[in-house]
Amino acid sequence: DGFAASRLFSQGYSYTYDDVIFLPHYIDFPTDAVSLSTSLSRNIRLSIPCVASPMDTVSEAYMAAAMAALGGIAIVHSNCTSAQQASIIRHAKSLHIPIAPSVAFASPQDVLPAAPQGRYVFVTESGTLPSKLVGYVDCENLKGEEVKIFDHMRDCKSVESVPWNYDLGKIEAILEEKKSDFVVLERDGEVVNVLIKEDLERLKGYPKLGAGTVGADGEWMVGAALGTRESDKERLEHVVKAGANVLVLDSSQGNSIYQIEMIKYIKKTYPQLDVIGGNVVTMSQAQNLIQAGVDALRVGMGSGSICTTQEVCAVGRGQATAVYKVSSIAAQHGVPVIADGGISNSGHIVKALVLGASTVMMGSFLAGSTEAPGAYEYKNGQRVKKYRGMGSLEAMTKGSDQRYLGDTAKLKIAQGVVGAVADKGSVLKFVPYTMQAVKQGFQDLGASSLPMAHDLLRSGTLRLEVRTGAAQVEGGIHGAEKGTGLAPF
């Protein structure tokens, strides 16, 4: 019944996740017996198979701390100076309590908006974190007026500061004892976070965190993206000094002499650090990077939600086919595969993992969350955050053009778009729910772990089929209005 993957993926078609469907297998264990623990790369273990994309609307400090706390990891983007990237990495590692602040920050020169968010505005030298604390403004009696921060600022003498690595219990005890509304967390003389009572309550309401991803330094593991230019060797020094635990060479077409030379350079300079290469979609591209010494491969070209590479450049591959093909060669060399892009529901995650990937890398799925960079705005009555392709003109103007090898070209060609994603709340809440759904998918397939799923697929025990257009419609919501309680979570 159905087809073995080896047969289905050798018929000359390029399949996306939605094109294929697994046939159910036999269940002889409960959902909670499914383990999703996995490898990001040769030497890094994760307790959940989730990686946040190196994109400037996805992975900065708060995303990196939250993903590590969940047992996954984030790769901090490089669409900024190397000093800024290093500061984001250090900041992420300093967020021992992995939550994004809900209070606002400003610099002394700023003007307080007429409708500030929340009661307090914290004033730091740079207007953001991490930075030196200058004071704070209590907006209680100032609402409705546009006033200069400097004129209404209270100094920090009365502010309760504690070291960055205090745990939740200690912080709660301090708030209680001092009858304070907030506590400032500091590291090396700089504020790394400000927590208010409601933040702590919110955190306690989220699913309990399991084993987080912690490096040999005892802090959150954080990845760093880099390019392959000569100047990236200097960036490399900065991010390694900041404590980056793994490096990702960020190219849309990774099978290049530039990337191969960079892999060799990094492996020679920092033999203790894992290097992730890509992106690739074919077996021969993968083979080249494996030979050069990569510790994991990132797979996907044009499958991302904001990508236009396939339309602009006529190059790429359906993501289900790409993940299956690359994984089959990578597995022979013990190199884990990261299925990058095209994930929009838990079913896509199940498909990517069962087809051979060890982790999924996600952009849009994590964008729009509390931890994603940027502020919420309102669009057509909906609370949204910006999400943009790193190959969009807007992002490339900021510097990400080298991912698309636009370095020597005078004309920039966009390979991505700018969009917005609805407010999803915290990743600390929706990622654990998603993982529970993925476990149910594994249970339906009779696989209690990733290695077991990979074995069942390769041996031909797990069977697949291609879905016709009508089968895809049938498999989605139909015959009922979306939003009437029938929508999947």
Q: Find where tokens 């198979």 sit.
A: 49
The reply to whether 306 sits near ligand XMP by the rule CB under 6 A is yes
Which residue number, 295 or 340, has a Cβ lying nearer to ligand XMP?
340
Which of these segments, 66-74, 125-133, 359-367, 435-443, binds ligand XMP (CB under 6 A)? 359-367
Which of these segments, 22-30, 194-202, 304-312, 477-485, binds ligand XMP (CB under 6 A)? 304-312
List 263, 289, 307, 339, residue binding ligand XMP (CB under 6 A): 307
List 72, 227, 302, 336, residue binding ligand XMP (CB under 6 A): 302
The reply to whether 304 sits near ligand XMP by the rule CB under 6 A is yes
Which of these segments, 37-45, 177-185, 187-195, 363-371, binds ligand XMP (CB under 6 A)? 363-371
Q: State yes or no: is 403 an active-site residue.
A: yes
The reply to whether 339 sits near ligand XMP by the rule CB under 6 A is no
Catalytic residue among 50, 90, 139, 307: 307
Judged by CB under 6 A, the chain residues 367 through 406 that form the site for ligand XMP are 389-392
Which residue number, 352 or 447, has a Cβ lying nearer to ligand XMP?
352
Catalytic residue among 403, 458, 463, 467: 403
Show the site string, 46-85: x = touches ligand XMP by CB under 6 A, - = not: -------x-x------------------------------
Show the site string, 252-291: x = touches ligand XMP by CB under 6 A, - = not: x--------------------------x------------
List 342, 368, 373, 441, residue binding ligand XMP (CB under 6 A): 342
The reply to whether 139 sits near ligand XMP by the rule CB under 6 A is no
User: Whole-number minimum distance, CB 365 to ligand XMP, in Å?
Assistant: 6
Which residue numbers belong to the known binding site for NAD(+)? 250-252, 300-302
Which residue number, 186 or 401, has a Cβ lying nearer to ligand XMP?
401
The reply to whether 299 sits near ligand XMP by the rule CB under 6 A is no
Please report, as ranges, the residues that interact with ligand XMP according to CB under 6 A.
Answer: 53, 55, 252, 279, 300, 302, 304-307, 309, 340-343, 361-365, 389-392, 415-416
